[in-house]
Structure 1
Amino acid sequence: MSTSNQKQYINREYYLCMGKYFQCPMNLLQRVYEKQVVLENIFTRGITVYGTVRVNNCSFHKKVFVKYTIDEWKNFSVINAYHSMYYSDGNTDSFQFKLTVPKDKLSILSSQNS
Structure 2
Amino acid sequence: MTEPSNVPPAFSFQFLAQVTRGISAEVVPEPWEVTFQQPASDYLDFRKRLDTGNVSLENVIVREAEDIVVGTVKVRNVAYHKEVFVRSTSDEWRTHEDAYCTFVNNNSTVSAAASYVLYDTFSFRLTLPPRSVRIEFCVCFRCEGAEYWDSNSGKNYVLLKKSSSNEEELLLLKLRRSKGDTLPVENAVRCADAVHAKLDSWSEFASWNHLDNSTPYW
Q: TM-score under structure 1 normalisation?
A: 0.71
> Once the 2 structures are TM-superposed, how far is the Cα of residue 74 of structure 1 from its aligned partner?
1.3
- When Rg is computed on C-alpha atoms for both structures, the one with the higher figure is 2
The one of 87, 96, 112 equivalent to 2:123 is 96
Percent of aligned pairs with the same amino acid: 30
User: Which structure's residues are more often helix, by fraction?
Assistant: 2
Deviation at 1:71, TM superposition (A): 1.1
Structure 1: which amino acid aligns with 2:100? Answer: N
Relative to 1, partners in 2 of residues 1:77 and 1:36: Cα closer, same or farther, differing over 3 Å? same
Q: Does 1:30 align with 2:48?
A: yes
Shift of 1:73: 1.1
Letter in structure 1 aligned against 2:57: L
Structure with higher strand content: 1
What's the CA shift for 1:69?
0.6
Matched, 1:65 2:85: yes
Pick 1 or 2: higher relative contact order, CA cutoff 8 A, min separation 6: 1
Q: State the 1:29 CA deviation.
A: 2.3
Aligned match of 2:62: 44
In structure 2, stretches of 5+ residues that fail to align are 1-25, 109-115, 134-162, 166-218
Distance 1:77 1:23, change over 3 A: same
Counterpart residue identity of residue 90, structure 2: I
Structure 1 residue 59: Cα displacement: 0.1
Change (3 A) 1:106 1:87: farther
Aligned length: 98
More displaced, 26-35 or 85-94?
85-94
The residue type paired with residue 39 of structure 1 is L
Residue of structure 2 equivalent to 1:81:
101
Give secondary structure in 2 for the equivalent of 1:18.
strand
Query: Hey, what's the Cα distance between the residues in 2 that align with 1:40 and 1:48?
Result: 17
* Structure 1 unaligned regions, length at least 5: 1-10
Provide the rounded CA distance (Å) in 2 between the counterparts of 1:32 and 1:12.
Answer: 42
Match status 1:106 vs 2:146: no
RMSD value over aligned CA atoms? 2.7
Instruction: Confirm or deny: 8 A CA contact 1:40 1:53 kept in the other structure.
Output: yes
